[in-house]
Chain A
Amino acid sequence: MEPQGLSEAVTLVQTNLDIVWTCVAAFLVFFMQAGFAMVEAGFTRAKNAVNIIMKNLMDFSVGSLAFFLVGFGLMFGVTNGFLGTSGFVLWGEDWAGGAWSFTFLIFQTVFAATAATIVSGAMAERTKFVGYLIYSVIISAFIYPVFGSWAWGSLGSGSGWLENLGFVDFAGSTVVHSIGGWLALAGALVVGPRLGKYGKDGKPKAILGHNLTLAALGVFILWFGWFGFNAGSTTAASGDIGRIAVTTNLAAAAGALFAMVTSWIFGKKPDGSMTLNGALAGLVAITAGCASVSGLGAIAVGAVAGVLVHGSVRFFDAIAKVDDPVGAISVHGVCGAWGTAAVGLFALDGGLFYGGGLHQLGVQLLGVVTAFGWAFGLGLVVFLAIRHTIGLRVSRDEELRGLDVGEHGMEAYAGFQIFTTH
Chain B
Amino acid sequence: MKLIIAYIQPEKLEDVKESLVAHGITKMSVTNSLGCGQQMGYQETYRGVRLEVNLLKKTRLEIAVNEEFVEPTIEAIIAGARTGEIGDGKIFVVDLVDCIRIRTGERGKVAIG
Contacts and interface: CB of A to CB of B under 8 A. Distances in A.
Contacts of A196: 14
A409 B44 contact: yes
Contacts of B30: 421
A352 interface: no
Contacts of B11: 400-401, 420-421
Contacts, number: 30
B44 A411 contact: yes
B interface, size bucket: 10 to 19
B59 A405 contact: no
Contact of B10 (A409, A411, A414, A419): A419
A206 to B, nearest CB: 13
B45 A409 contact: yes
Interface residues of A, number: 14
A400 B9 CA distance: 10
B14 A421 contact: yes
A417 B14 contact: no
A422 interface: yes
B43 interface: yes
B25 interface: no
Contacts of B57: 417-418, 420
A196 B13 CA distance: 12
Contacts of A417: 32, 34, 57
Interface string B24-35: 000000101010
A400 B87 CA distance: 15
A411 B13 CA distance: 21
Interface in A372-414: 400-401, 405, 409-411, 414
A421 B10 CA distance: 5
B50 to A, nearest CB: 9
A46 to B, nearest CB: 12
A196 B42 CA distance: 25
B34 to A, nearest CB: 7
Given A417-B57, A420-B57, A410 B44 contact: yes
Contacts of A405: 42, 44
A420 B11 CA distance: 6
B110 to A, nearest CB: 31
Contacts of B34: 417
Interface in B41-68: 42-46, 57, 59
Residue from B13, B42, B46, B57 with most neighbouring chain A CB atoms (10 Å): B57
Interface string B73-112: 0000000000000000000000000000000000000000
Nearest to B32: A417
B45 A410 contact: yes
A420 B56 CA distance: 11
Residue from B30, B44, B59 with most neighbouring chain A CB atoms (10 Å): B44
Nearest to A411: B44
B19 to A, nearest CB: 14
Contacts of A414: 46
Interface of A: 196, 400-401, 405, 409-411, 414, 417-422
Interface of B: 10-11, 13-14, 30, 32, 34, 42-46, 57, 59
10 nearest A-B residue pairs (beta carbon): A400-B11, A421-B13, A421-B10, A420-B10, A417-B32, A409-B45, A409-B44, A410-B44, A421-B59, A410-B46
22 contacts: A400-B11, A405-B44, A409-B43, A409-B45, A410-B45, A410-B46, A411-B44, A414-B46, A417-B32, A417-B34, A418-B57, A419-B10, A419-B32, A420-B10, A420-B11, A421-B10, A421-B11, A421-B13, A421-B14, A421-B30, A421-B59, A422-B14
